[in-house]
Amino acid sequence: MFTSNPFADLTIFFSPLVMQVYIVLMILLVAIGTLFDMLHKGSARFFVRQWRRSRATAARPLSGMDSAFLAAGTLLKEVATSGEFCNLKRRISHLLMFYGFLFYLITTIVMVFVYPLPATPTPAFLPVLWNIGALMVLTGGYWFFFFLRVDVAKEGHSPFRLVQADLFIVSLLVSVSFALIWELVQTTGSLTATQIVFGIYMLFTTLLFGSVPWSKFAHMFYKPAAAYQKRVEQANGSSNLPTPADVNHIVR
């Protein structure tokens, strides 16, 4: 089960082209939703304004090499290792979801576009990585949802209390959960049950990618941009943030 391409059996329902078009539409939804979110919330204007202010007030101009090093540092810390999280548990949870979602998403795209038919053997490592990625998302996601959310861990609210900010994590967890359930149901041989579960899987996947303007999905694009801008301002001397306090001096 874990070494076979679950998407290859979709030919029982419809042409592989349908799933391929669906994935393209989801990518467009994310792009359009992120753009709308930036324009609606003024994020684009904010970044442009900050960039102009930084250039105008810079005490030290940065070379192209300097900018490249700053970008690399942002990718290594804020993106690759989630270094912005001081809480180790939240950091581990975030990394599980981040890398798990990458495995899950990339292998989905490859299996749907490159190996869409049962007659085209899918390398076993792709479904294995797909399942590992899904399990990583669920492990990190449910850990975060039930134990690490601020309103649960710090404010004592029930984990089942939902607000708009939870739309992303809830739709992500339900979508990936039903992906694995769909894979399991396929092994029963029940066409009706498989179609129903697959339909639920598609419903929440569409909600995940279609709700970008109202969820925190777009934050994964904002945070690296904001972190890079902060590094640039610190490097060129245009930052207007206060200098971190000397804790030892304060204690004395």
Task: Give me the mean pLDDT over the 13-42 stretch.
Answer: 89
Contacts of 226 (CB under 8 A, 6+ apart): 47
- Distance of alpha carbon 39 from alpha carbon 165, whole angstroms: 19
Task: Give me the mean pLDDT over the 209-228 stretch.
Answer: 81
Q: Delimit the domains of the chain by residue range.
A: 16-239
69-78 pLDDT, tens digit each: 898 988 888 8
- Distance of alpha carbon 133 from alpha carbon 26, whole angstroms: 19
128-172 pLDDT, tens digit each: 999 999 999 999 999 999 998 876 666 667 777 888 888 999 999
Cβ pair 232, 70 in contact under 8 A: yes
79-124 pLDDT, tens digit each: 888 877 778 899 999 999 999 999 999 999 999 999 999 888 999 9
pLDDT higher than threshold 60 for residue 251? no
pTM, entire model = 0.86
Task: Give me the mean pLDDT over the 41-60 stretch.
Answer: 79
Tokens encoding 179:
């992906």
The pLDDT score that the predictor gives to residue 205 is: 97
